[in-house]
Amino acid sequence: MSAVNDTKLNSAVFLLTGIPGQEDAHLWISIPFCLMYLISIVGNSVILFIIKTDRSLHEPMYIFLSMLAIADLGILIATIPTILGIYLFNIREISLNACFTQLFFIPSLQCIESSVLLLMAFDRFIAIRDPLRYASILTPPRITKMGLVCVLRGVAVILPLPFLLKRFRYCRANVLSHSYCVHNEVMNMACSDITVNNIYGLFTKLLTMGLDLLLIFFSYLMILKIVLSIASHSECLKALNTCVSHLCAVLLFYTPAIGLSVLHRFGKGSSPILQIILGYISMLVPPLMNPIVYSVKSKHLCVRIIRVFMK
């Protein structure tokens, strides 16, 4: 009898959730989601196409931007099946294996994006501190190695999470509060001791986003120190202006991600709607806004985008 129960538990499914109480309006709600996905995919794809085909954009800043666009596209692809599945086709069920797969790809890609934002902060620091040696320090081979380290770190740190969850038996309510699988929620549905998962989940957040954000903060402290030592006010503003796009990308990525992480761990009495909205913002807004922010702030990129669409 115990073996039968274990089989049922291990072959169970989770039920994803859209917006509670708005089930009748899911088809209408799907319209802005579809538009966001379409604009995000087209925007990031155009950025990648232009940087790849225009040799004048084969500079460190634009190479890092292409890495950011790839990570954003990965997050979009990882969330499309479940989010649009709920709102367009009312498909709420997700198997354990599919859930664990999503649990691996989404945090891994977020970790990679966090690492790329750190590299972009380092790029701005080098460009402002030592502009004459900028190209010789950030050479294409060195940038490639940095990108590879970002990918390896994301995979290595997140890979144990689905395996740690897979060893559990799940016997509690199987309704998730998001339209995609979140580690903390799945972990709390296990009928076993989750202490190791809890500690490791917190460890991954601190080791990736927490450490990256701290290093980005220190990078900007050093940038500010260098900029304030510049005698000319116009040169000071010009140097700071090159950082605006990156600062916007950092705020768009970290603000909802940190808020959602805090609510999952400490906001037991918080509004479920707030968690759902923050979840959508953290997944969909950075891929949507990053191409727009960088296109508006980079004249070279903006001109080439206009040329592509004019053709």
Q: What tokens does 70 get? A: 């790839």
State the CB neighbour count (10 A cutoff) for residue 41: 17
Residue corresponding to tokens 């000319």: 232
Q: Which two tokens stand for residue 125?
A: 């620091």
Give the span between the Cα atoms of 210 and 208, in whole angstroms.
6
- Residue 311 has a pLDDT of 63
Residue 38 located in a structural domain: yes
Residue 289 covered by a domain: yes
pLDDT tens digits, 221-235: 999 888 888 767 777
Cβ atoms of 126 and 42 closer than 8 Å: no
User: Residue 58's pLDDT is what?
Assistant: 86
Of 21, 39, 12, whose CA–CA distance to 285 is shortest? Answer: 39
**Residue 19 burial (C-beta neighbours within 10 Å; 0-12, 13-18, 19+):** middle
Say if CB 184 and CB 279 are below 8 A apart. Answer: no
Domain with 195 in it:
2-119+131-310
C-alpha–C-alpha distance, residues 90 and 82, integer Å: 10
Q: Give the span between the Cα atoms of 210 and 6, in whole angstroms.
A: 37
pLDDT digit of tens for each residue in the chain (311 aa)? 333 344 344 457 888 988 877 778 888 989 999 999 999 999 999 999 999 988 888 889 899 999 999 999 999 999 999 999 999 988 889 888 899 999 999 999 999 999 999 999 999 999 888 888 888 899 989 999 999 999 999 999 999 999 888 888 887 678 888 899 888 888 888 887 788 888 888 888 888 899 999 999 999 999 988 888 876 777 777 777 888 889 999 999 999 988 887 777 676 666 778 888 888 999 999 999 999 998 887 777 888 877 777 76
Q: Characterize 54-71 residue by residue with b for buried, 16 or more Cβ atoms within 10 angstroms of its Cβ, and e for exposed.
A: eeebebbbbbbbbbbbbb
The neighbouring-strand residues paired with 95 are: 13
Mean pLDDT for the chain? Answer: 86
Q: CATH code at 216?
A: 1.20.1070.10
Look at the chain and report how many structural domains it folds into.
1
191-225: pLDDT as tens digits = 877 888 888 888 888 888 999 999 999 999 999 88
125 domain residue, yes or no: no
Q: Is residue 124 part of a domain?
A: no
